[in-house]
Amino acid sequence: MYLLYATETEASNRADQEGQAQNLSFWTSPIGISKWVSKPRITAKPLVGSAKWSLDVSDYILTEEEQAATVDSVTYPTPEV
């Protein structure tokens, strides 16, 4: 389950918010290394409007509005060899 964002900053801000809500070590300890539950990833192409960034929110606590905005799958660019 994914949420889509137009910018990496928007996706990162939501990832920060969830990391704080789940008390990951980055937010609770001066030596913590876990900041996000999942990190933003760029998609192969805009999926909805101008949304180019995805965030896997399978383990997030979502608002009703966010829940309604989720998509089941995204396509990522093929890595260059």
Per the model's pLDDT, the better-predicted residue between 32 and 22 turns out to be: 22
* pTM of the predicted structure, to 2 decimals: 0.80
Residue ranges of domains in the chain: 2-69
- Identify the three-state secondary structure at position 31: coil
CA distances for 26 relative to 22, 38, 56, angstroms:
11, 14, 19
Helix/strand/coil percentages in the chain, nearest 5: 30, 15, 55
Classify residue 35 by its DSSP letter. -
- The H or E element that residue 70 is part of is none
Q: Using 50, 70 and 90 to split pLDDT, how confident is the model at 75?
A: confident
- At 67 the pLDDT is 97
